[in-house]
Amino acid sequence: MKKFNTYILLAILMISGYGFAQQTPASSQSEAVTIVGATAHLGNGEVIENSLIIFEDGKLTQVMDATTTKMQYRGEIIEAKGKHVYPGFIAPNSTLGLVEIAAVRPTDDQDEMGEMLPNVRSLIAYNAESKIVESMRPNGVLLGQITPRGGRISGTSSVVQFDAWNWEDAVVKENDGLHINWPSSFKRGRWWMGEDPKLKPNKEYVEDVQKLSDFFAASKAYLAGSKDYTNLPYMAMEAVFNGKKKVFVHVDGEKEIQDAIQFKKDQNLEKMVIVGGYHTLAVAQQLKDNNISVLVNRPHSTPKQEDEDYDYPYKLAKLLNDKGVLVGLESSGQMERMNTRNLPFYAGTVAAFGMDKEEALQLITLNAAKILGIDDNYGSLEKGKSATLFISEGDALDMRTNKLSHAFIDGRKISLETHQTELWKRYSEKYRNQENN
């Protein structure tokens, strides 16, 4: 009897799993698609009010003004007059697919034990069937940089697209960057251990920075030597030194940012990106002069210091952009995986606080693609690039009108159904029936 009950339980679990399974990834594009009449926001600052967009075999073959051409339509025709077309939004510095339920340890694979972990690759831990990843697509977030956390050097990120069977199918750019958590020159005491919780200078700051420098020096020495033994962390640094990997430095303080800039010079690093960068405005000219871009943390936050403007987080991206710094948006922080779906609305907030709407769009399209090194194929609607795009009934940066009717990744028409959309439809019908009664 116990054995029979066990089989019954397993059967119920399997049926429940199928009921809540991820949408099946789309098949490769089989015929050309023509989108006619939509307002096309190209992602590079340009807008075509009455556009004609054609793509086949996963690539854009035509992006033009429909009023000035007699181009023959091809394949499936989508009449989109009154709607808007955008390139797929890109979410940098994300832990999507690395954690499903934060309170359930077996579903949390965002970090590893240790301090210097350049050899840790987030890509192989990425869960393409995550239900949270699936929930990004209805808002137009179609690609992301999957990034490890923890340690002084967290590891190596990769860029993926959000409609795949597994990480091998999902990968867009493998091992794109090394992530460093820069030490803080101030710290708070651990109140749970009886320490004073007030902010105070970190006496170990100089020592912590020196440990980073020592690790870089040791890696260079190992790579230049005979390699009599295998050291995976040192070996993983080779792509940093030859410029194949960018260095993403997670840092907020003004002094710390200046020290990170000096570190770039001392280590002769070719490519560096500041992540978070709360106080980057104070050193914007140095960032520009050293060709360092910034991924600004989500603007839906409050000022960190009482003497700052109330809208400082809302306008930081615009102010940096005005000073010539290449800027993108990222959404790390509290409930970061779920909140990543709000990425377009973060850009909308930046636009509401002074930035041109098309420039704000670039923060999550072409600028993000440039920072991640995928702009040759993604980030804008241009002939020859990937047909990774979506059609919205209205302004995609406004949560009231961001309603997708179609979405494509590499030309594949993807599902916009998720567990959340099913619940939305279910309860919308419930209250509609109550109104009718």
DSSP letter for each residue of 218-262 = HHHHHHHS---S--HHHHHTHHHHTTSSEEEEEE-SHHHHHHHHH
Number of H helices, E strands in the chain: 14, 20
pLDDT by residue, tens only, the chain of 437 residues: 455 555 454 444 444 444 455 678 989 999 999 999 999 999 999 999 999 999 999 999 999 999 988 878 999 999 999 999 999 999 999 999 998 888 788 888 888 888 999 999 999 999 999 999 999 999 999 999 999 999 999 999 999 999 999 999 999 999 999 999 999 998 887 788 887 888 888 889 999 999 999 999 999 999 998 888 899 999 999 999 999 999 999 999 999 999 999 999 999 999 999 999 999 999 999 999 999 999 999 999 999 888 899 999 999 999 999 999 999 999 998 888 989 999 999 999 999 999 999 999 999 999 999 999 999 999 999 999 999 999 999 999 999 999 999 999 999 999 998 888 888 888 888 777 777 76
- What integer pLDDT is reported at residue 428 of this predicted model? 84
Helix axes 254-266, 205-224, angle to 10 degrees: 20
Please name which of 318, 329, 401 lies closest in space to residue 353, comparing C-alpha atoms: 318
- What integer pLDDT is reported at residue 13 of this predicted model? 42
- What integer pLDDT is reported at residue 190 of this predicted model? 78
- Tokens of residue 412, six digits: 């594949």
Element (H, E) at 274: strand 272-276
C-alpha–C-alpha distance, residues 290 and 326, integer Å = 12
C-alpha–C-alpha distance, residues 230 and 391, integer Å = 50
C-alpha–C-alpha distance, residues 14 and 383, integer Å = 45
Q: DSSP assignment, residue 201?
A: E
Provide CB contacts within 8 A for 125, sequence distance 6+.
97, 98, 109, 110
- Sign of CA pseudo-dihedral 366, 370, 376, 377: negative
- Sign of CA pseudo-dihedral 224, 227, 229, 235: positive
Q: What's the Cα-to-Cα distance from 104 to each of 99, 100, 211, 300, 406, rounded to whole Å? A: 9, 8, 33, 27, 34
182 within 8 A of 250, measured Cβ to Cβ: yes
- Backbone phi, then psi, for 258, in 5-degree steps? -60, -40
Q: Which amino acid is at 337?
A: R
- What integer pLDDT is reported at residue 198 of this predicted model? 81
DSSP letter for each residue of 19-55 = HTPPPPPPPPP-S-EEEES-EEE-SSS-EESSEEEEE
- What integer pLDDT is reported at residue 21 of this predicted model? 55
Provide CB contacts within 8 A for 319, sequence distance 6+.
281, 284
Total Cβ atoms within 10 A of residue 422: 11
- Sign of CA pseudo-dihedral 124, 128, 129, 134: positive
C-alpha–C-alpha distance, residues 281 and 291, integer Å = 15
- What integer pLDDT is reported at residue 8 of this predicted model? 53
Enumerate domains of the chain plus CATH numbers.
Answer: 22-88+380-437 (2.30.40.10), 89-378 (3.20.20.140)
Whose tokens are 């075999």? That residue is 57
- What integer pLDDT is reported at residue 22 of this predicted model? 62
C-alpha–C-alpha distance, residues 88 and 410, integer Å = 10
- Tokens of residue 30, six digits: 């089989």
